[in-house]
Amino acid sequence: MKQRPKAIDGILRKSFLRVPEVIRECSGINIFGKRIKSLVFSTDLAIIKNVNADAVMAVYPFTPQPIITQSIIMASDIPVFAGVGGGLTQGMRAVLLGTNAELQGALGVVVNAPTSDEVVSSLSEALDIPVIVTIVNDQTNIHDRIEAGATIFNVSASADTPRIVAKIRKDYPDFPIIATGGPTEESIRKTIEAGANAITWTPPSVSELFKGVMNKYRDDINNVGHH
């Protein structure tokens, strides 16, 4: 095996967020020549700029707004999969948002679970980038989703995720699947073993990360005070 050069790290970026190592074990999904194994589930620009994930899953629980997509794509130095609604944001609007996301440079668009097959089909016809369809339970007709033009599935079914991934994988051996890995190395590995090709990782929030930093600052100040 070829010798790899040593890793390059800066002093100022020591607090950089790193996705769990176990994610490297999945096959990845090849999109326009880029292999995506890890996706950070975030719309927080500070986190997106300071994480070593391969891509961003920029999905949020409000009506999608092009200015949000644009800000994330501009700030991010990794590819962005942009949410374009599909539930509350139906039909023509989802297609317009999808077209807009593609023109702004998104690597793919993500539609949520309630999206109709008609909307998936319209998006698939209108766009040249992948249409990623979210699956939240096993009530979904996978065959109809694929027929409608889904390019990738995004399985987000909480603790049930590995089981649903395994079920899709059994029927469709080579269909690309992104899945949420859960909080631990074990839960991520379980999802990969079930057949997920790429894993979505939820990072700690900025306020959680700040707790550790603030405690360290307090300790440092106290220690200086005692000298």
- All structural domains of the chain with their residue ranges: 21-226
Residue 182 CB partners (closer than 8 Å, separation 6+): 159, 161, 188, 190, 191
Q: In terms of DSSP H, where are the helices of the chain?
A: 45-48, 66-75, 91-104, 117-126, 142-148, 161-171, 185-194, 206-226
Please tell me the predicted confidence (pLDDT) of residue 109. 98
* CA atoms of 150 and 86, how far apart (whole Å): 13
Each residue of 127-153: pLDDT tens digit? 999 999 999 999 999 999 999 999 999
Each residue of 146-167: pLDDT tens digit? 999 999 999 999 999 999 999 9
Question: Structure pTM?
Answer: 0.89
pLDDT band at 1 (very low <50, low <70, confident <90, very high): low
Statement: 21-226 belongs to CATH 3.20.20.60: yes
Length of the chain in terms of residues written:
227
**pLDDT: which is higher, 88 or 83:** 83
Each residue of 157-209: pLDDT tens digit? 999 999 999 999 999 999 999 999 988 999 999 999 999 999 999 999 888 88
* CA atoms of 123 and 133, how far apart (whole Å): 11
Neighbours of 43 (CB within 10 A): 19
Please tell me the predicted confidence (pLDDT) of residue 9. 73
